Chains A and B, each alone.
Chain A
Amino acid sequence: MTAASSPSAPPAPEAAAPDTQRTSGEPLAPVSRWQSARFRRRVAASIIFAAMIVIAIVMFYPFWYMGDNSFRNQAQFDQQSGHSLAGWTQLFQVLPVVHELVSSTIVCAAAIAIILVVATTAGFAFAKLRYRGSGLVFLLIIAAMMVPLQSIIIPEYVNLAKFNLMSNYTGAVLVYAALGAPFATFLMATYYRGISDELIEAAVMDGLSYERTFLRIALPLSLPAIATVTVLQFIQIWDDLLVGYLFLPTNDRTITVGLAVLSSGRTTGIPPLMAGSLVSAIPAIIVYLIFQRYLIRGLTLGMGK
């Protein structure tokens, strides 16, 4: 009962003296206003509230800064006063915004589709359709989570070049899919373990094959886990720089890569860069705000409840 610690907790109906009820644990002798536990709790709550506002300002600061400075021209930015639409009009001159947003969307959608296919099927197999050695295979797949991208980036580049996969989206999509697959498989397997064996076997007894049981029974049941994987991967891939930068053709860059390259050139003014940052951030923020619940669950699933 956390309510008991809240200053606004209603007194228990059977309590004759609500004040002593709230301060149980304190001496029963009359106490001054300053010493009363209730008052001290109010003060503590106010201090906490103030601290939380300060932290909120710090955490929100980047968004405010981007918004504020995107509506300036270079002179207004240098003076830090006055606003105009200059940042936004310049943005569309220096960056193919729409095309790069489309690229981001295509890359995300394709990679997530592959991740969902391999992670749901493999997750179900490792959870419900074990075979000799499946435990080891599962371990090998989730152990791949530990491979840092930078460790394999050079051979990856050589291989993708050999198969000519870097002239379009294919190479980057495959690498994103491979990087996301291990954790997604782990997450799906964990979820499928929670489905009872009886349910699966009953469907099989009714004449469905195991493959169809997966499609018709297990897959619909796992929609929450699928949502978690989708949101996690969307944010990861949308926000990534390295893979897109190295493996996508220059004219099919994602918005994040386009921005980073533009910024590193050090020739573009800050206002259009801030406008671009906002454009790139908004889709991820919207997805995040809508699916916050799933994202949080995914991030914390690694260590369980």
Chain B
Amino acid sequence: MNITAAPPLRRPRHGKLARKRRLAGMLLSIPAIILVAALLWTPIVQAVRYSMTNWNGYSAPVWIGPGAYASAFGDPIVRRVLENNALLLLAVPFAIGIPLIIAALLHEHVRGWRFFRSVYFLPTAISWVVIGMVALQFFADKGILNQLLSDVGLGSIHTDFLASEYSALAALAITFIFSMIGTNTIIFLTGMATLDPTLIEAARVDGLSRLQIFYRVTLPLLTRFIQFSFVITVISAFSALFSLIFVMTGGGPGLGTTTLEFFVYQAGFAQGQFGTGALYGVILFVIMIIVGIGQLRLIRTEDGEGW
């Protein structure tokens, strides 16, 4: 790929040494191939097969065929679940915008910014199970949010946020945004560290305000990093919320916070419908592929570069 960039190759392409090298390469890559093929690629093929059956995991599976997908998309419950996923995507702009602002503040390098950076990234280290448990107390009937609301004279709003469908989904979305702040801030801060400071200085000398510099200089130069964090955030919104949902709502009330990934778990393991569960998993995979194509493109441009 980078033949033009490499100096004249001193590695022989033919002969005994080259053969040894190829052989060693095959040998050393075998363990990774076996692991990934056995535990990631094989199951995805199996999942596609299972998805077209009616199977409870014990008795013999009954073949349905591709029609299983047609009936799934006609199911109002499935539509409701997909709607929840779509609504959760509304959290993505906040999960990117807030970290952008935080990174911009940190990048000003005011006194103590290293300490603040450590504090901001701290939640990145802990499990979303733990974050979910605290969030549960935050949004609860006698929780902190209701306390805060009554403290500022909005006590009339007092409600159990996790008890009605849409407020529970909103609570989940807010917790998700909080959980993404650390990772996305790291991404943007790294991006800002790559910017040429003389550009910013030049803009300052030209009389642009801080805000103008942020909008007109910093943001356009960060496009690549924003794209990357967008992909990460969307993937997380679709496939990393299990812990939060499990701890905070269990998918309820009703179907209020059941997303596709949680639905896979419920169908497969709570209701024992392996075929249907696998089908939801395949739908999730297809959505991820569509999102992931962007990520692959980003990674490929990086091919051939070192650290």
A178 vs B42: C-alpha distance when bound (angstroms): 12
A245 vs B269: C-alpha distance when bound (angstroms): 11
Dominant secondary structure at the B interface: helix
Q: Is the CB of A131 within 8 A of B25?
A: yes
Q: A150-B265, A191-B306 are in contact. Are A55 and B21 (CB under 8 A)?
A: no
Q: Is the CB of A126 within 8 A of B285?
A: no
Q: Is the CB of B28 within 8 A of A125?
A: yes
Q: Is the CB of A303 within 8 A of B130?
A: no
Residues of B near A235 (CB, < 8 A) are: 124-125
Residues of A near B224 (CB, < 8 A) are: 303
Residues of A near B210 (CB, < 8 A) are: 44
Residues of B near A301 (CB, < 8 A) are: 307
A59 vs B25: C-alpha distance when bound (angstroms): 46
Q: Is the CB of B239 within 8 A of A155?
A: no
Q: How many residues of chain B are within 8 Å of chain A by beta carbon?
A: 116
Q: Is the CB of B105 within 8 A of A51?
A: yes
Shortest A262–chain B CB gap in Å is 10
Q: Is the CB of A62 within 8 A of B134?
A: yes
Q: How many residues of chain A are within 8 Å of chain B by beta carbon?
A: 117
Q: Is the CB of B305 within 8 A of A59?
A: no
Assess whether A289 is interfacial by the CB under 8 Å rule: yes
Residues of A near B102 (CB, < 8 A) are: 55
Shortest A79–chain B CB gap in Å is 11
Closest residue of chain B to A299 (Cβ to Cβ) is B186
25 contacts between A and B (CB under 8 A): A24-B205, A65-B134, A132-B22, A137-B33, A140-B41, A147-B285, A148-B284, A151-B47, A152-B43, A155-B50, A159-B42, A159-B43, A174-B39, A181-B35, A190-B305, A190-B307, A194-B307, A197-B9, A201-B10, A204-B17, A214-B24, A246-B269, A264-B250, A287-B125, A303-B302
- A residues adjacent to B (C-beta < 8 A): 1-2, 4-6, 24-25, 44-45, 48-49, 51-52, 55-56, 58-63, 65-66, 69, 78, 114, 117-119, 121-122, 124-126, 128-132, 134-135, 137, 140-159, 174-175, 177-179, 181-182, 185-186, 190-191, 193-194, 197-198, 201, 204, 209-211, 214, 235, 238-242, 245-246, 256, 259-260, 263-264, 270, 273-274, 277, 280-281, 284-285, 287-289, 292, 295-296, 299-305
Apart from A260-B129, A263-B129, what are 9 other A-B pairs with CB-CB below 8 Å? A59-B120, A117-B31, A149-B239, A152-B43, A178-B36, A190-B302, A190-B307, A204-B17, A277-B134
- 4 closest A-B pairs by CB: A194-B306, A129-B25, A178-B39, A122-B32
